[in-house]
Structure 1
Amino acid sequence: MLTAVACLCSPPLSAQVSDGRSRHAAATSDPALVRTLPGFVSRYATVNGIRLHYVAGGTGPLLVLLPGWPETWWSYHRIMPQLAASHRVVAVDLRGMGGSAKPADGYDKKTMASDIAALVTQLGYREADVVGHDIGAMVAFSLAANHRELVRKLVMLDVAHPSDGYLKLPLLPAAGTFGDKLDEDHPYLWWFAFHQVRGLPEKLLEGRAGIEQEWFFHYMLKNERAIDAKDRAVYAAAYASRDAIRASNGWYQAFGQDIADDGTYAPLTIPVLGLGGPGFPRLKAALDVKAPGSVTHRIDGSGHFIAEEAPEVLLRHLRDFLDR
């Protein structure tokens, strides 16, 4: 009788935990996320010997969206349906990000840009408008610099391509400038150095990437509700594994090569729009030199994550710029 009663009890705690984790993983998976965006599909393409994941929808001229750290293609989900009314929207997980491959190397922005160039060509397009945020903005700029025939118009969100100015970033913050919120006049980008360390971040953050992300979102967001609990679960899951942490660190560890490449790029002559939150002064200064004739606007009230903090404002700028 005791055995019979035991069979009627709830599953062991370990099984319940495992089941809970499975349900959580399913809820943050790309198929589940794409189902919330009618008209969009999740796809893969093999380019430059690696597999890239992307989400596509809509019809019209090609518009490529490139995300940054610590996010994935999902960072654009609030504007993708509206953009799809007039464009073929393709939001890409960069090399090392989300559902894309995480090879041992190739994280310099020139190589990552060649991935996107190959994807555009494979999709059957001769040119694309390109929007990039954070690491994605660096890749977008490199794409325009190295594959000028493919980029019709370029939009940079809050971050410029790495330049030799990175070599002058302070190791320690100026007295009284570093708190739990970004001092826009004295940004302290300590994670640039932390992610240079090989092997250690993976050991510290495996399964706990959300801890670093929570700090970063608090530091860089002005409206912390703009990235909600679901969004944060998506990003924490995307960077939970050692491979994911190693690959994303690779974007930072390649800055030395990116800086060297930057010195070889001629100024861009295509239409370029910069949109900055806290990075506005640095983005404008860079684009004034690297893209003469570009226009850079400050997005008032937005922190670093413009596509999530100010989606309607971003949409107005994109429509005006891309459809002009």
Structure 2
Amino acid sequence: MVDIKVIGARSGNLEIAVRVAGHPDRPAIVLIHGWPQSSRAFSRVMQHLADEFYVLAPDLPGVGASRVPAASGSKSLLARHVRDVVQACGARRVVVAGHDVGGMIAFAYVRGFAAELEGVVIVNTVIPGLEPAWSKVLSNPYVWHFAFHSIPKMPEVLVSGHQRPYFDFFFDAISRTPKAITDEARDAYARDYGHVEALRAGFDWYRAMSKDAEENAKRIEVTTPVLNVRGDADPGPMRDYLEGLSASGLTHVRGETLEGSGHFAAEEAPEALARLLRIFARDCVGAV
């Protein structure tokens, strides 16, 4: 069993909790969680990668052990906070992998600091503003929560005190294997968003998406390799996502389908996801 430690890293006035495993002299893989999860979602993935890589998984500001929220849910701002964590932890030869909102942050990270990254992996998410996937997601009635979470203040009022059943709805609805997200994990995520500031931090990620879309509308050429991963039970054709990423300026982007997974890849298919990450990171950094 790999030893996973939790350390603190500073980003401005924020203290961010980071799960770390592996030796810091090795190339780094940085794992960014999404909603409604925390860094604990990557625990099993970290176990599979720490023999070869220095693996970091921060709790995003305001969530879990990172108790102070960021100034906004802007993905470019959150990318800067993650970058500060990467630098504070001494990570080098860095590959960033983000799931859900974490994938949006990974996209902002490579757009802002491409020269500092060896590669980027975007898992099971749509990037705000990138067409045709973005418009299709916003018009999909089954993705109602994007609009609901964007409403000021009201989601906190309705969800506070009901985190566990509210999160359960999503774990059950958009996973291929709901039991893969255990009761223990579900209880933990409810605690990780157990105070109003944590809920506000998570909902602010959605409130910022229209602004994110405006920022992403500007084409920026990026030559860093990018891998887009989608679970085989996650809806939406891969070509829509690859088309948008390429049109945004990513010149080396490709897709992989993750077998045996719905939306929550790190828990539904941790070995398969770790295998994809390992192969991609090796390709990016060379022999380890």
Q: Same fold (TM over 0.5)?
A: yes
**What is the alpha-carbon distance in structure 2 between the residues aligned to residue 265 and residue 46 of structure 1?**
31
Structure 1 residues 283 and 171 mapped into 2: Cα distance closer, same or farther (>3 Å)? closer
Say if 1:280 and 1:297, in contact at 8 Å, map to a contact too: no
- How many angstroms does 1:199 deviate by? 1.4
Confirm whether residue 156 of structure 1 aligns to residue 122 of structure 2: yes
Match of 2:245 among 270, 287, 291: 287
**What is the alpha-carbon distance in structure 1 between the residues aligned to residue 61 and residue 191 of structure 2?**
17
How far does the alpha carbon of each residue in 1:119-173 deviate from its partner, in whole angstroms, 9 at most, with x for none? Answer: 2222224541111000001101111100112211111101132116546655673
**What is the alpha-carbon distance in structure 1 between the residues aligned to residue 270 and residue 227 of structure 2?**
16
How far does the alpha carbon of each residue in 1:183-239 deviate from its partner, in whole angstroms, 9 at most, with x for none? Answer: xxxxx2101011111111111111211121111111100111110111111111111
Match of 1:308 among 249, 264, 267: 267
Structure 1 residues 170 and 131 mapped into 2: Cα distance closer, same or farther (>3 Å)? closer
Match of 1:124 among 85, 90, 113: 90
How far does the alpha carbon of each residue in 1:37-89 deviate from its partner, in whole angstroms, 9 at most, with x for none? Answer: 64221111121221111111101111110000000001111110121101111
Structure 1 residues 270 and 258 mapped into 2: Cα distance closer, same or farther (>3 Å)? same
Match of 1:240 among 187, 194, 203: 194
The amino acid across from 2:53 in the alignment is: H
**Other structure's SS at 1:147 match:** helix
- Counting matched residue pairs gives 274
Say if 1:96 and 1:102, in contact at 8 Å, map to a contact too: yes
1:323 maps to which residue? 282
Match of 1:262 among 210, 216, 231: 216
Say if 1:158 and 1:280, in contact at 8 Å, map to a contact too: no
Say if 2:2 and 2:50, in contact at 8 Å, map to a contact too: no
Say if 1:120 and 1:127, in contact at 8 Å, map to a contact too: no
Match of 1:81 among 35, 47, 64: 47
TM-score, normalised via structure 2 length: 0.89
**What is the alpha-carbon distance in structure 2 between the residues aligned to residue 243 and residue 210 of structure 1?**
16
Match of 1:253 among 207, 211, 227: 207
Structure 2, unpaired ranges of 5+: 284-288
**Other structure's SS at 2:10 match:** strand
Confirm whether residue 271 of structure 1 aligns to residue 237 of structure 2: no
2:62 maps to which residue? 96
Match of 1:195 among 149, 159, 162: 149
Structure 1, unpaired ranges of 5+: 1-36, 174-187
Structure 1 residues 65 and 280 mapped into 2: Cα distance closer, same or farther (>3 Å)? farther
- Which structure is higher in RCO with an 8 Å CA cutoff and minimum separation 6? 2
The amino acid across from 1:154 in the alignment is: V
Say if 1:205 and 1:240, in contact at 8 Å, map to a contact too: no
Say if 1:276 and 1:283, in contact at 8 Å, map to a contact too: no
Say if 2:219 and 2:247, in contact at 8 Å, map to a contact too: no
Structure 1 residues 193 and 149 mapped into 2: Cα distance closer, same or farther (>3 Å)? same
Say if 1:158 and 1:283, in contact at 8 Å, map to a contact too: no
Structure 1 residues 210 and 170 mapped into 2: Cα distance closer, same or farther (>3 Å)? same
Say if 1:280 and 1:298, in contact at 8 Å, map to a contact too: no
**What is the alpha-carbon distance in structure 1 between the residues aligned to residue 29 and residue 253 of structure 2?**
19
**What is the alpha-carbon distance in structure 2 between the residues aligned to residue 271 and residue 167 of structure 1?**
25
**Other structure's SS at 2:44 match:** coil
Structure 1 residues 212 and 267 mapped into 2: Cα distance closer, same or farther (>3 Å)? farther
- How many angstroms does 1:323 deviate by? 1.0
How far does the alpha carbon of each residue in 1:64-120 deviate from its partner, in whole angstroms, 9 at most, with x for none? Answer: 100000000011111101211011111111123211133362210000001111122
- How many angstroms does 1:240 deviate by? 2.0
Identity of aligned residues (%): 31
- How many angstroms does 1:266 deviate by? 0.8
Confirm whether residue 55 of structure 1 aligns to residue 9 of structure 2: no
2:176 maps to which residue? 222
